[in-house]
Amino acid sequence: MLAVHSTEDTMLTRRRAILGLAAAGLAAGAVGTGLSFRRDLRAARARLDGIGAQTVETAAGRVAVATRGDGPPLLFLHGSGGGYDQGLLFAAPLVARGWQAIAPSRFGYPGTPLPADATHRAQADAHAALLDALGVERSAVVGASAGAVSAASFAERHPDRCAALVLLVPAAPLPGAPPMAPWAPWQERMATAALQSDFLFWTLVATAPDFLTRTLLATDPALVDAASAAEQARVRAILEHTLPIAPRAEGILNDGRETQSPAPPDYAAIRVPTLALSFAGDLYETDRIARAIAGMTPGAELEIYPAGGHVGVGSYDSAMGRVDGFLSAA
């Protein structure tokens, strides 16, 4: 098995960097911003509510899910900091290519409670329960970033329900990786408090977008600056979709635990058509993780784009064309 020793440290370091600069961001944005903050937060909440997500009672509990499109079903599992809104944002090019996106909020994200058992295996079973509740017998699955963990687990545990699997910039644990030391209780409390502050994240989005692009989106801001206006707007939308942040706090913290899981999915047991896809320049090093997963998963395909960072700047639409072709063939 392939051991990975640095990616987990990189992810944790970036999360801690966000928290380390949080106080400075809060102080810088505190003066004269109250009205703007309330206006933008209202707009963010209205955007989230306006998507038209439905609350579905499943055998695994309540799940908030939004759907778009009328084609073959595609379960799209969002990354850390997301929710059904981020799922739809990232799935939009596939919806335009004829797929029906089923975009749930994973455990601890808007509209979906965090259960006592929130492991990636429990999430995988919850994905199957959601398909049951929606009357979907079988679906292709895309897991983006931290969503790749439960996506891989879903393919492993429910192969009869998974038509094909795409692990997109997979921020996923690998067998043989050394376990991360847990946060001290004070660090956990600090992280929880920071993530529950909509004002703090609004301030960082407004005053330090390059900082968030590098640390949260794991992408070189210079890459965004050199991109087209449309790509710059897409990256900006990804940042703005982290607001409101408070309803996502439990999910983000749980993702942090699961992406460091000492018991990762059994990639060697996956028997469905699988594509691992990433972009060079991803500061989370998911291109390396994608290579490792493709090497462990029987028959898996691998696609690494030469540039793009974690959010695929300049290459995302091409990558979705590759995903569309793979899923259509599978």
Q: By percentage, how much of the chain surpasses pLDDT 90? A: 78
**What does each C-alpha distance from 238 to 51, 170, 190 come to in angstroms?**
15, 17, 24
Tell me what the pLDDT averaged over the chain comes to.
90
Q: What is the mean pLDDT of residues 135-140?
A: 98
- Quote the CA–CA distance of 238 and 279 in Å, as a whole number: 17
Assigned fold of 7-19+41-329: Rossmann fold (3.40.50)
Model confidence pTM above 0.85: yes
Q: Output DSSP code: residue 6.
A: S
Provide the 3-class DSSP secondary structure of residue 293: helix
In 10 A of CB 322, how many CB atoms? 16
**What does each C-alpha distance from 105 to 7, 36, 221, 300 come to in angstroms?**
25, 28, 28, 27
User: Is the pLDDT assigned to residue 321 strictly greater than 80?
Assistant: yes
Q: What is the DSSP string of 46-67?
A: HHHHHT--EEEEETTEEEEEEE
Local confidence band at 3 (pLDDT 50, 70, 90 cut-offs): very low
> Structural domain boundaries of the chain?
7-19+41-329
Local confidence band at 283 (pLDDT 50, 70, 90 cut-offs): very high
Provide the 3-class DSSP secondary structure of residue 236: helix
Local confidence band at 119 (pLDDT 50, 70, 90 cut-offs): very high
> Tens digit of pLDDT for each residue in 58-81?
999 999 999 999 999 999 999 999
User: Is the pLDDT assigned to residue 43 strictly greater than 60?
Assistant: yes
Local confidence band at 35 (pLDDT 50, 70, 90 cut-offs): confident
User: Is the pLDDT assigned to residue 260 strictly greater than 90?
Assistant: no
Contacts of 240 (CB under 8 A, 6+ apart): 44, 205
> Tens digit of pLDDT for each residue in 209-235?
999 999 999 999 999 999 999 999 999
For residue 93, give the nearest of 324, 297, 247 by alpha carbon. 324
For residue 325, give the nearest of 286, 277, 269 by alpha carbon. 277
> Tens digit of pLDDT for each residue in 165-181?
999 999 999 998 765 56
User: Which H or E run contains 140?
Assistant: strand 139-144
Local confidence band at 11 (pLDDT 50, 70, 90 cut-offs): low
